[in-house]
Amino acid sequence: MAVLRLGVLSSHGGSNLQAIIDACKEGRLHARCCVVISNNSGSMALQRAKNEGVPNYHLSGKTHLSSQQLDQAIRDTLEKHRVNLVVLAGYMKLLGPLTVSHYQGRILNIHPGLLPRFGGKGMHGDKVHKAVLASGDGVTGVTIHLADEAYDHGPIIAQTQVPVFKDDSVESLRGRVLKREHEFYVETLQRIAEGDIELSGL
Residues that bind ligand GAR (CB under 6 A): 10, 12-16, 89-90, 110-112, 124-125, 128, 152, 178, 181
State the Cα–Cα distance between residues 52 and 33, nearest whole angstrom: 10
State the Cα–Cα distance between residues 21 and 186, nearest whole angstrom: 9
Q: Which is nearer to ligand GAR, 14 or 96 (CB)?
A: 14
Q: Is residue 177 within 8 Å of 142, Cβ to Cβ?
A: yes
Give the DSSP letter of residue 126: H
Q: Which is nearer to ligand GAR, 66 or 133 (CB)?
A: 133
**Minimum distance, C-beta of residue 133 to ligand GAR, in the bound complex (Å):** 15
**Minimum distance, C-beta of residue 13 to ligand GAR, in the bound complex (Å):** 3
Q: Which is nearer to ligand GAR, 91 or 103 (CB)?
A: 91
Q: Which of 12, 102, 111, 124 is catalytic?
A: 111
**Minimum distance, C-beta of residue 113 to ligand GAR, in the bound complex (Å):** 8
**Minimum distance, C-beta of residue 112 to ligand GAR, in the bound complex (Å):** 4
111 labelled catalytic: yes
H-run or E-run covering 20: helix 15-25
Q: Which is nearer to ligand GAR, 96 or 112 (CB)?
A: 112
**27-30 contact pairs (CB < 8 A, 24+):** 28/186, 28/190, 29/186, 29/189, 29/190, 29/193, 30/1, 30/3, 30/4, 30/190, 30/193, 30/194
By Cβ distance, which residue is nearest to ligand GAR?
Answer: 90
Query: Which active-site residues does the annotation give?
Result: 111
